[in-house]
Amino acid sequence: MTSSPLSSLYRPSLSLVTDLYQLTMAYGYWQQGLQDRESVFHLYFRKAPFQGGYAVAAGLALAVDWLENLRFSDDDLAYLGSLRGSKGGVLFPTEFLDYLRDLKFTCDVDAVAEGTVIFGNEPIMRIQGPLLQAQLLETALLTLVNFQTLITTKSARIREAAGPADQILEFGLRRAQGFDGGLGASRAAYLGGADATSNVLAGQLYGIPVKGTHAHSWVMAFGDERAAFAAYAKAFPDDSVFLVDTYDTLEGVRLAIDVAREMRAAGHELGGIRLDSGDLAYLSIQARALLDEAGFPKVRIVASNDLEENLITSLKQQGARIDTWGVGTQLVTAYNQAALGGVYKLAALRKADDSGWDFTIKLSEQVAKTSIPGILQVRRYLDDHGHPRADMLYNTAAPLPDRLTLVDPLDATRRRPVRPEAEFVELLEPIFRRGQRVKDLPTLAESRAHAQRQVQSLDPGIRRFLNPHTYPVGLELTLHDYRTELILQHRPQKPA
C-alpha cells in the first residue's frame, strides 16, 4: 500500500468509504458464483451544472489514489464481521470476509483526463472487470468525481468571468462542508483556474501556491488602522496586503498609502489592499485613483465578499478596478448547485457461456434518464483549429459502419452526418489494465493548464452563463438503433 494524501489524512484503509448496499450486493454475487462475471460500468452525469453549457472533468487522480490503495484491512474486516442483521445473525459470514481479505483490484479503467471539458451522458470513467469488484467501486468513484467535477467547473466559470490576467485566490476553507470538503474544494478550485488558496493543508498535500492577506481582527487588535498596517509591514515587508475596510474604506486606503510610502523609503513595496464590503465597483475605482495619484500603480486591489461568476462579470461591466478576486463560500460550496448528479450504470455483462456481451439498459419514464448500453467511447470531432465541434458516443464492442451519423439522444429526428475526413480525439484513455496502472498522470498544475486550454477552445456561446448553447453530443446511429431496440424489448407493450 503506498502512502497517499487521502490515507495520510484519514486512516490507512479507506475501503469502507462505500454504501452498505455495495457490500451486500458483493456478498450476494459471491454466493451466486457471479463475482467474476465480466461487467462494464460507466460513470457520467446527465446535465452540466449551474445551468451551464459544459463541465470540466475532475477527480481522476484522487480516484487512482483510492483504487491503488484498495484493500480490506483487518480492522475493516473485523467491523464488517461485527455487523448484524435484523434477527441478530451476522451480515457477512467469515468465508466471505476471507474472500474480501484476499481481494485484489483487477479491473480495467478508462477515463477522461482531468481538466477536459465534458458534456451530459458522456462517460467520464469506464470500468470493466469482475462484477463484484466493478460494483464495489461505485460509491467512492462517484463521491470523488461528482464533487471534484462540480467545484472544478465552478472555478472554471469564475476564471471565465475574471479573465486570463486577473488573479483568483480561493478563500473558502472556513465555509466549506467540513475539513474534507474544504481540502477537496481547494484542489478542484486550483484545477479549474484559481491561482492560489488560503488553505495551508491543501498547499502542503497538493502543492497549490498558498496566499493570503489579513483579517479584520488584525486591525481591531490594534484599534488603529495605521498602526496595524505598519506592524504587518514590519512582519512581512515584501508580502503585505492591507485590509482597508474595517472602519472607513477610503480613509483606510489613504492610511495604507501612508504606510506604503514608509515601506518604499525603507526599500520595500506594498503588495496590495483588500476591499471586503461596500460597493466594490465604486470603492475599487476610487482606491485605484488614490493609489495611482500617490505613485503606487502596481499596488494590487483585492476584493472579497461573497463573490461568484455573475457578480464578477457585473463588477467588470461597472468598470471595477479589481485585479485580484478572493472567492470563498460560493466557490467551495458550489453555492447555487449543491451536487453534481453523476451516476454509475451497468452497461454490459459477459454472457454466462462467455460467447459475447449482453448489453444492459435502465429504462426511465424520461428519455434523458434512460441509460446507454454498450462499451462506450467518446469520440470528439475537431474543427480546423483543433476546437471541439461535436462528440459521438459509440459502442466499441460493435463494428462501426463506414458512414457515421450522430443522433441526438433526446430527439432522434435531429441527426448529422460525420465528414469522413474529420479529425477526432478519443476521450477515454486507458488508466488501469487488469488492476495495473498503465498511464502516468499529469501533475495538478499540468491538468490546470489543460483545463484552461480546454475551456478556451469552446465556442463562447457554450461558455456563456446565461442560456448557453447546447454542445452537440450524439449517439452513433447503430448504437442509437440498438438502444431503441432494447428499450422496445424491455418496455411493456400495453394494447391501446
Ligand X SMILES: O=P(O)(O)OC[C@H]1O[C@H](OP(=O)(O)OP(=O)(O)O)[C@H](O)[C@@H]1O
Ligand Y SMILES: O=C(O)c1cccnc1
Ligand Z SMILES: Nc1ncnc2c1ncn2[C@@H]1O[C@H](COP(=O)(O)OP(=O)(O)OP(=O)(O)O)[C@@H](O)[C@H]1O
Binding residues (CB under 6 A) for ligand Y: these are 171, 198, 212-213, 304, 326, 328
The least CB distance from residue 218 to ligand Y, in Å, is 10
Nearer to ligand X by C-beta: 326 or 409? Answer: 326
Nearest one of 207, 284, 221 to 252, comparing CA atoms: 284
Name the residue whose CB lies closest to ligand Y: 212
The least CB distance from residue 202 to ligand Z, in Å, is 24
The least CB distance from residue 357 to ligand X, in Å, is 49
Nearer to ligand Z by C-beta: 311 or 372? Answer: 311
Round to whole Å and give the CA distance between 217 and 294: 27
| Residue found by looking up cell 502542503 in the block | 204
| Residue found by looking up cell 448500453 in the block | 373
Nearer to ligand Z by C-beta: 73 or 305? Answer: 305
Name the residue whose CB lies closest to ligand X: 328
- C-alpha separations of 292 from 15, 133, 285 in Å: 57, 63, 11
The least CB distance from residue 213 to ligand Y, in Å, is 3
Cβ atoms of 418 and 404 within 8 Å: the answer is yes
The least CB distance from residue 451 to ligand Y, in Å, is 23
Candidates 113, 228, 253, 307; binder of ligand Z (CB under 6 A) is: 307
Does residue number 302 form part of the binding site for ligand Z (CB under 6 A)? Answer: no
356-362 own/partner pairs: CB under 8 Å, 24+ apart = 357/40, 357/397, 359/395, 359/397, 359/482, 359/486, 361/483, 361/486, 361/487, 361/490
Which residues are within 8 A (CB) of 54 and not within 5 positions of it... i.e. 6 or more apart? Answer: 48, 117, 118, 119, 153, 455, 458, 462, 463, 468, 471
Cβ atoms of 262 and 255 within 8 Å: the answer is no
Nearer to ligand Z by C-beta: 175 or 261? Answer: 175
The least CB distance from residue 335 to ligand Z, in Å, is 11
Nearest one of 270, 253, 249 to 261, comparing CA atoms: 270
The least CB distance from residue 277 to ligand Y, in Å, is 13
Nearer to ligand Y by C-beta: 15 or 186? Answer: 186
The least CB distance from residue 334 to ligand X, in Å, is 13
Query: Which of ligand X, ligand Y, ligand Z, none does residue 433 bind to, with CB < 5 to 8 Å depending on kind?
Result: none
Round to whole Å and give the CA distance between 449 and 443: 10
Cβ atoms of 72 and 101 within 8 Å: the answer is yes
Written as nine digits, the cell of 445 is 498544475
The least CB distance from residue 288 to ligand Z, in Å, is 14
Query: Which of ligand Y, ligand X, ligand Z, none does residue 213 bind to, with CB < 5 to 8 Å depending on kind?
Result: ligand Y
Nearer to ligand Z by C-beta: 152 or 304? Answer: 304
Does residue number 318 form part of the binding site for ligand Z (CB under 6 A)? Answer: yes
Nearer to ligand Z by C-beta: 98 or 306? Answer: 306
- C-alpha separations of 457 from 47, 111, 191, 389, 469 in Å: 20, 20, 17, 10, 15
The least CB distance from residue 275 to ligand X, in Å, is 10
Candidates 305, 310, 329, 456; binder of ligand Z (CB under 6 A) is: 305
Site residues, ligand X (CB under 6 A): 171, 174-175, 215-217, 276, 304-307, 326-330
Q: What strands lie across the sheet with 108-111, from one edge to the other?
A: 357-359, 343-350, 38-44, 125-130, 108-111, 429-433, 436-437
Query: Which of ligand Y, ligand Z, ligand X, none does residue 327 bind to, with CB < 5 to 8 Å depending on kind?
Result: ligand X
Candidates 224, 306, 446, 481; binder of ligand Z (CB under 6 A) is: 306
- C-alpha separations of 54 from 147, 182, 327, 447, 489 in Å: 15, 23, 21, 17, 33
Nearer to ligand Y by C-beta: 222 or 424? Answer: 222
Does residue number 314 form part of the binding site for ligand Z (CB under 6 A)? Answer: yes
The least CB distance from residue 315 to ligand Z, in Å, is 6
Cβ atoms of 244 and 272 within 8 Å: the answer is no
Query: Which of ligand Z, ligand Y, ligand X, none does residue 198 bind to, with CB < 5 to 8 Å depending on kind?
Result: ligand Y
Query: Which of ligand Y, ligand Z, ligand X, none does residue 175 bind to, with CB < 5 to 8 Å depending on kind?
Result: ligand X
Positions in 266-285 near ligand Z (CB under 6 A): 277-281
The least CB distance from residue 246 to ligand X, in Å, is 9
Nearer to ligand Z by C-beta: 138 or 276? Answer: 276
Buried/exposed code over 103-120 (b: 16+ C-beta within 10 A; e: otherwise) = bebebbbbbbbbbbbbbb
Nearest one of 253, 217, 176, 179 to 10, comparing CA atoms: 179
Nearer to ligand Y by C-beta: 93 or 212? Answer: 212
Does residue number 336 form part of the binding site for ligand Z (CB under 6 A)? Answer: no
The region of 67-75, 301-309, 382-390, 481-489 touching ligand Z under the rule CB under 6 A is 301-309
Nearer to ligand X by C-beta: 245 or 391? Answer: 245
Candidates 58, 301, 311, 462; binder of ligand Z (CB under 6 A) is: 311
Residues making contact with ligand Z (CB under 6 A): 277-281, 305-307, 311, 314-315, 318
